[in-house]
Amino acid sequence: MTELRSELLRIEAAGTPPRPVVAGRDLEEAKEAGLLAFGRWFSWFMDVNRFSHPQLVALCKLCTGGKAMLHSSTIAGYRNCRIKNPGPTAFVAIEYVCRDIDAAQRGEPITNFGRLNSLVMDVKIMRDENGNPVTAGYLTEVFLGLRPLPIDLSTSYFNESDATAISQKTARLIRKLMVVQDLDPIEDATQIGGHFPGNPQQKEVFAELIKGNATWNNHEIEEQVAKTARLLEEHFQYKRTTAELLNELKG
């Protein structure tokens, strides 16, 4: 019994670190930002380790007792920010693969990776802010925007030139859609800006962006594009995920 208890303690998952509480009125906005943030973090995990979809699926299956809990379609959905609600079984698979890889790298293996052992020894796993492998609960909180990313991924994406170009292309797209609805891009810009899902200052900036008088800065591009995607779907029936719209505006 002592040996069993010792083994259970060795593989016990770390507790979820405390986090600030998101106000109820901000939950929808937080979720929009969280979905995008999680997509970037998960993409980082895939890209930095050069994982193919089949490789990650195989690793997860090994770590979950041969059960296929993470599928290629789910991987694509996370990367493209298409999945609107967290998948608990997929998050369990990610928790287990990160936990087992961490254990293998520490020389305390839980899973026999066999022919995949060489693949995992240099893997950079998803960790919380305390450096522990992520849990399913932690991943859920990040996905829902209840807690920020534990690593800084902002520096590798957009510079000020990118932000200006994306802002201008956003403005052109909005103006084109306004014309289709018989709206004047200048006279009705304030009306459309009022529908922007942000605070009063962000609504005002969006109205000026439509007119060509304002741009977003590089640190807020992803947040603002996420909100723009929501506005486009609700008011212009122009349906794009945040990732799809961002790719469109970068093109």
- Report DSSP letters for 41-103, one per residue: HHHHHHHHTT--HHHHHHHHHHHTTT---S-HHHHHHHHTT---S--HHHHHHHHHHHHHHHH
Closest CA to 133 of 111, 116, 155: 111
- Does 205 reside within a domain? yes
Confidence of residue 194 (pLDDT cuts 50, 70, 90): very high
Whether the Cβ atoms of residue 69 and residue 60 lie closer than 8 Å to each other: yes
- Does 213 reside within a domain? yes
Confidence of residue 2 (pLDDT cuts 50, 70, 90): very low
- Does 27 reside within a domain? yes
End position of a domain, from candidates 155, 175, 206: 155
- Does 168 reside within a domain? yes
Q: Are residues 99 and 133 in the same domain?
A: yes
What percentage of the chain carries pLDDT values higher than 90? 53
Type of residue at 187: E
Confidence of residue 191 (pLDDT cuts 50, 70, 90): very high
Does residue 105 or residue 5 have the better pLDDT? 105
| Residue-range definition of the domain harbouring residue 140 | 21-155
Q: Are residues 212 and 99 in the same domain?
A: no
Q: Which of 50-54, 78-82, 183-187 has the highest mean pLDDT?
A: 183-187
Q: Are residues 37 and 128 in the same domain?
A: yes
Does residue 205 or residue 27 have the better pLDDT? 205
Q: Are residues 53 and 150 in the same domain?
A: yes
Closest CA to 150 of 15, 27, 38, 23: 38
First to last CA, the chain: 61
Q: Are residues 79 and 124 in the same domain?
A: yes
Q: Are residues 218 and 171 in the same domain?
A: yes
Q: Are residues 57 and 116 in the same domain?
A: yes
Give residue 193's pLDDT.
96
* Prediction pTM value: 0.62
pLDDT reading at 139 higher than 60: yes
Closest CA to 235 of 165, 166, 199, 188: 188
Maximum C-alpha span of the chain: 76
Confidence of residue 247 (pLDDT cuts 50, 70, 90): confident
- Does 15 reside within a domain? no
Q: Which residues have CB under 8 Å from 139's CB, separation 6+? A: 38, 86, 91, 94, 95, 126
